Structure 1
Amino acid sequence: MIKKQLLLKVILLLIFLQPTIGHASAKDYLLDNEAKAISSYQKSSHFLKSVSISEIQIMMGNKKAFYLYIGRATCPHCRNFLPRLLKATKQCNIPIYYLDSENSSLNLELKTFRNHYHIATVPNLSQFQSNRLTKTLERPSLASKEDITLFLSQ
């Protein structure tokens, strides 16, 4: 009788613990996939020319026309957009500058830049010329490689 009660308690304990164990595994799997996606984004972003706000201001002061991509590794839409952007830039052979917007709430200079040019969300792909934002790719997270190529070639 004692063995049956002990066996019943063990079975009940396992039944109650099983969802917790399974949940932890699923959570670990999602976290691992997220870490891999972030790492992949960071590696891919090296194909763009990384710039700071001060470098952007110098380019604007020199009246240079350029395309600027603003994004961050922790943004799922940015991670989906970047591969299409890289394919389009390779096809168009147009240099794209990259401004990492990670921790934008902590970076006053970045926050001021985004507010000044009304850049509310990322990913953002815009053209700048003579200290002005001249055009922005509409709904970049939904843009195809062809949409991006057309935007860059106009």
Structure 2
Amino acid sequence: MSTPVITAPRSPYARRKTTRGNFELYGWVFMRISGVVLVALIFTHLFVNLLAGEGINAIDFAFVAGKWASLPWRIVDLIMLWLAMMHGTNGVRTIINDYAEKDRTRGILKVLLYSAFVIVVVTGTLVIFTFDPCPAGADPALLADFCKQL
């Protein structure tokens, strides 16, 4: 029977060779950059939606329709959706890698995670770009002012 070899406590760390490349490094950098951008986008979103106007009582279909009638607001909301989903998915992926012990469990959880990511991003993108601010047959009291002029 052989005795296990215990390395000296102050010996240099021997890094094992990996084939992953720099994916984890890029994920780490992405989390920092996307976090800063998301904080700026979220505070802008909260300021415009809650503080600049009449507060939460003014948020209704007409408010969203008026905001999304402008392409720049749609793009800002799209960037916020995509960044938030990528940031959150990368964070949950890291948690799965850290805590799922079995390869099969890790694989199943990642498939579920990536499926949820695709469903939310595709649905959210479709909603943002197919949203009709002036739907036919809608209650005129709920429509934005520019819809009543048409």
Fold-level similarity (TM above 0.5) = no
The normalised TM-score by structure 2 is 0.32
- Structure richer in helix, relative to its length: 2
The normalised TM-score by structure 1 is 0.31
